[in-house]
Structure 1
Amino acid sequence: MGPLTMWAAYDEIADWYETEFLPTTTPGDPLGIRRAIAEQLGPGHGRCLEIGCGTGAYAAQIRELGWTPFGVDLSAGMLGYAVGRLPVARADAARLPFRDAALDAVITVMAHTDMPAYPAVLREVTRVLRPGGTFVHVGVHPAFCGGFADRDDQTAVVIRPGYLDGHWTKASWTDQGVRARVGASHWPLAGLLNAFLAAGLELRGFGEGGSPTPAVLSIRTSSASR
């Protein structure tokens, strides 16, 4: 399933995402997403690109940390809500419209499962980051979230066959989430970490969020100093 399909799918759910999904999932930071941004990105200055920025839900926090945020996304519908929260452009994450070594930091928040070509996205991140620049990945936890994970009982996640398959699916333990509406790709943990290394990114730190079983994995990396 290609990026343009994802763009069309998110256009169809943009209103639901902004007005129904976000208000029920972000208050109180139940998954530790905002904590991950604070810990892995941290205070800084310069331009910070958010890949897959969606409606711009995290732009204010990035700005509060001292960065100058701007975002890219394929969905015009999602970007319609992001306008006013941060400068945005409609663009393919695997072909970013920036020159080499142009950016101080890059972040993606809960979006990598929407990118079937995520290794190519990581290579683009390496290209556009300045030497020593920071890339932060905040995404669903590959070991505990996916079509193989039944989270209906929040005290005991059931892991079924399929973790190692690494495929695109709409299978989900709930019909109230994003995966059931537009699908999601899955990257087993080893494949995900190896994609960072293959892109030339240096691993700097990790975090997990959500309880009692983690739902979010955050990774801090940097581009090689040249």
Structure 2
Amino acid sequence: MSAAAYDQIADWYEQDFLRGQDAETSEGNPRSLGGLLGDLLGTGSGTCLEIGCGTGVHAAALRDLGWTPVGVDLSRGMLGHARSRLPVAQADAARLPVSDGSVTAAVAVMVHTDMPHYPAVLREAARVLRPGGVFVHIGVHPCFCGAFADRTDPDAIVVRPGYLDGAWTKASWTDQGVRDKVGATHLPLPGLLHAFLDAGLALEQFAEHGTPTPIVMAVTARKRG
């Protein structure tokens, strides 16, 4: 993820993208998740590390579930909005400033396409989790969202060649989202799921969200004891 890119759009992201009239349905909008975070993470206590916390929009939901949220993000501009919502640190998600085995839970919400080395991020998540700790990934659906997917007509998503390529791009079907401004990295579904296994995370639960074609795919995984 380019810190400079998100620094430049941080105010727009907080004031317009997160709060726009289509926030509940827009592709990639962290508010368009239904009840996924609660369903997959569940209630608990202790520290929940949000990797790529952005402006901290999920902090309240994590507290409502009983967790104590702490966030890390690469963008100073995004963290400027997050600081009033949760404790934060500026850091690369692939090199977390967190001790081994020190957190009970971790989440990454709508950020994996911003992280060109997401398999390394998953390895870091596994490193900082306690044995048996839970990790929740919620991200844009790798099969139906990307430069290869034209979502102009929500009732008829057109998937063109490019799904298998796995590349960074700013190409987008809309100029109202994030991808055309900061770009996104695509991982085909097998590569994404194998990255969890390679990190030492046991897959437990899956979910999709969005109709008639899912926008979001989510995974619950647990650090092997």
* TM exceeding 0.5: yes
2:42 corresponds to: 42
**2:163 paired residue number:** 163
CA deviations 1:186-219 (Å, max 9, x no partner) are: 0100000000001110000000001110000000
Letter in 1 for 2:176: Q
Cα displacement (A) at 1:33: 1.5
- Partners of 2:212 and 2:46 in 1: CA distance: 36
Change (3 A) 1:23 1:32: closer
User: Residues of 1 paired with 2:25 and 2:216: CA distance?
Assistant: 15
Compared CA separation, residues 27 and 140, structure 1 to 2 (3 A): closer
TM-align CA RMSD: 1.4
The whole-number CA distance in structure 1 between the counterparts of 2:152 and 2:23 is 19
Q: 2:18 aligns with which of 14, 22, 46?
A: 22
Tell me if the contact between 2:144 and 2:213 (Cα under 8 Å) persists in the aligned partners: yes
Counterpart-to-counterpart distance in 1, 2:55 and 2:185: 20
What SS is found at the alignment partner of 1:12? Answer: helix
Structure 1 residue ranges, 4+ long, deviating more than 6 angstroms after superposition: 28-31
Unpaired runs of 5+ in structure 1?
none
Alignment of 1:1-226 (within 5 A): 3=1, 6-24=2-20, 25-27=22-24, 32-225=32-225
* Secondary structure of the corresponding residue to residue 212 of structure 2: coil
Residue-pair matches, total:
221
Structure 1 residue 28: Cα displacement = 8.1
Q: Distance in 2 between matches of 1:84 and 1:161?
A: 43
Deviation at residue 34 of structure 1 after TM alignment: 4.3
Q: Could you tell me how far 1:132 is from its partner in structure 2?
A: 0.1
| Contact 2:24/2:32, CA 8 A, preserved across alignment | no
Aligned residues: percent identity? Answer: 62
Amino acid at match of 1:134: V
Q: Take 2:147 and 2:25, find their aligned partners in 1: how far apart are those partners?
A: 26
1:153-206 Cα offsets, whole Å, 9 max, x none, are 000100000000000011111011000000000010000000000111000000
Amino acid at match of 2:184: A
Q: CA deviation at 1:131?
A: 0.3
TM-score, L = length of structure 1: 0.95
Q: Distance in 1 between the 2:101 and 2:23 partners?
A: 33
Q: For residues 6-44 of structure 1, give each alpha carbon's deviation from its aligned partner in whole angstroms, at most 9, with x where no partner exists.
A: 110000000100000000244589975141101101111
Larger helix fraction of residues: 1
Q: Deviations 1:104-146 (Å, cap 9, x if unpaired)?
A: 0000100000000000001111110000000000000000000
SS in 2 for 1:120: helix
2: CA distance, partners of 1:121 / 1:141: 18
Could you tell me whether the CA contact under 8 Å between 2:167 and 2:185 is conserved in 1? yes
